[in-house]
Chains A and B, each alone.
Chain A
Amino acid sequence: MTNEQLEVMRAIQKLKAKKLPCALATVIKVKGSAYRKEGAKMLIDADGVTVGLISGGCLEADVAEIAKEVIKTKAPIIKTYHLDEDEVWGLGLGCPGTVHIYIEPIIYTTQNIEEVDECAKEIGAF
C-alpha cells in the first residue's frame, strides 16, 4: 500500500472517530491504461472534500458528486467509466480505458461504534 493510500486509511479512522459520515470509492476493475490500479481509494466526506486519487485526475470530481449521493442514500453503487482513447486525447486527459469504481457509504452510528469498542476491550482482556 502506497503512502497515499495509507493517508486515505488514516482519514477514514479520523472520520470514524468523529462519527462523521463519508463514502469510500475503490477501483475494483481496470482495463487499459487508467492511471490507478485495483485497490486505489478515495475518501469523500459529506461536503465532497476528498482524500486520495482513483485516476490521474479525470474522474475524481465526478466520483465525489456521486459519493455525496451515496452518503445520503446509504446505499453502495458500482460506477463504470468507459473512456475512449480518441475522445480523451481530444480533451487533453490522460486516462483512457474502462474503470469500475465501487462507492460505499461509511456511516458509524453511536451504536455500532460502541459495539466495536466493547469488542476491542474484550479482545484486550483476552
Chain B
Amino acid sequence: MNVQKKLAPFDAWLDAIDQQQAAVLMTITEASLSQKNYRICYLENQSPIGSFHDQALELDALSIAKEKLRQSNPQSESLMIQDENELDVDIFFDVFVPSPTLMVFGAGHDAIPVVKYAAECGMKTVVIDQRSLYNNEERFPHAERIIARPEDFTACIRVTNRTYIVVMNHHIEKDKQTLKFALSSLAPYIGVLGPKSRRIKILDQLYLEGCHFTYTDLQRMHSPIGLDIGAVSSEEIAISIVAEVIAVRTRHKGGFLQGAEFIHQSS
C-alpha cells in the first residue's frame, strides 16, 4: 500500500482510465492554487491515493466518491463540502467509469443486430451460447464469446453492476436457467425476449423450484423486452432493445422528447 501512495493521484487516475477501471479524482480546485494535499484519487474498492489537508473533508469526499461509483450513470460535478472548521470547500469530482457491458444470452440470428448496435454505441459486448456453430467470430466479430452451458455460468461469467443482460435463447428451459443466474447477479437490467405470458410461465416455474425473488430483484427484469416502438424485424427489435438499455442506464423513461422540458436529466 505504501508503494501505491508514491503514485500521484492524477497519475493514478490516468492509469485507471487507461486500464478501464472505475475511479474518481477529487480536486480542491481553490487549494490547488496555493497548497499541497489538494487531490485524492479513489479507485473502486481500493485505498485512496493522496490526501486532503483536512480529515473531515477527506471522509465526506470519499463517501461521495464511493456513492458515485454505485450509480449507473454517475456525472462529474463540483460539490460544496464543509471542512473541520465548518467552512465551505468546493471539490470537483471527476468520475470515470468503464463502458457498460451488454451480455447477450443466445446467439440466434436476432442477436446479431443487438450485439452490433450495442458495440456501435460504445458498449462492450459478450455473447453466451453453448453452440459454437452459432456463437462464432463470423457472426459476432466485435463480441467476446463464451461457449458455456447454463450450469457453468456461475463459474465462467463475471457480472458487475455495469453489466446489462439480454436473454434471448429461444428456448424456454435455457431462458429459465439464464434468468435464475441473472436475477442472482448484480446486473441492473435483465431483458427477456418474449410476451408477458412467457414471463409468467418462467417465473412460476422458478418459484416452484424454490427460487423466490424479491420485488427489487424482479424490478430489474424487463419482459417483454424493449421500448414500445412497434418493432417487427430483427433490426427494429434490436434498436428497441439497445435503446431500452441506454434509457435504463441513464435513468430516462424512453418516450418522445417532443414536449419534454429537458433533453438530459441529471443523475
Contacts and interface: CB of A to CB of B under 8 A. Distances in A.
Contacts of B8: 112, 116
A32 interface: no
Interface stretch (A44-52, A53-61, A70-78, A89-97): A70-78
Nearest to B77: A38
A102 interface: yes
Contacts of A26: 92, 94
B29 A28 contact: yes
Contacts of A9: 14, 17-18
B75 A126 contact: no
Q: Is the interface of A mostly helix, strand, loop or mixed?
A: mixed
B96 interface: yes
Given A9-B14, A104-B32, A119 B94 contact: no
B105 to A, nearest CB: 28
Indicate the size class of the contact surface on chain B. 20 to 34
A96 B122 CA distance: 30
Contacts of B154: none
A77 B33 contact: yes
B76 A39 contact: yes
A78 B75 contact: no
Contact of A122 (B3, B10, B30, B122): B3
Given A39-B95, A75-B33, A119 B17 contact: no
Contacts of B95: 39
A16 B8 CA distance: 13
Nearest to B2: A122
A100 B78 contact: yes
Nearest to B122: A3
Given A1-B96, A13-B18, A26-B94, A37 B76 contact: yes
Nearest to B92: A28
B17 A6 contact: yes
Contact of B3 (A1, A100, A112, A123): A123
Given A6-B17, A9-B18, A28-B78, A102 B3 contact: no
Interface string A74-85: 011110000000
Contacts of B11: 116
A67 to B, nearest CB: 15
Contact of B78 (A13, A29, A118, A119): A29
B92 A102 contact: yes
Contact of A115 (B6, B18, B27, B96): B6
Interface string B217-240: 000000000000000000000000
A12 interface: yes
Contacts of A119: 3-4, 6-7
A12 B14 contact: yes
Interface of A: 1, 3, 6, 9, 12-13, 16, 26, 28-29, 37-39, 75-78, 100, 102, 104, 106, 112, 115-116, 118-119, 122-123, 126
Interface of B: 3-4, 6-8, 10-11, 14, 17-18, 27, 29-30, 32-33, 75-78, 92, 94-97, 122
Given A39-B95, A100-B78, A116-B7, 15 more contacts: A1-B96, A1-B97, A38-B77, A38-B78, A39-B94, A77-B33, A78-B29, A102-B29, A102-B32, A106-B10, A116-B11, A118-B6, A119-B3, A119-B4, A119-B6
10 contacts: A1-B97, A12-B14, A28-B78, A38-B77, A39-B95, A76-B29, A112-B8, A116-B7, A118-B6, A123-B4
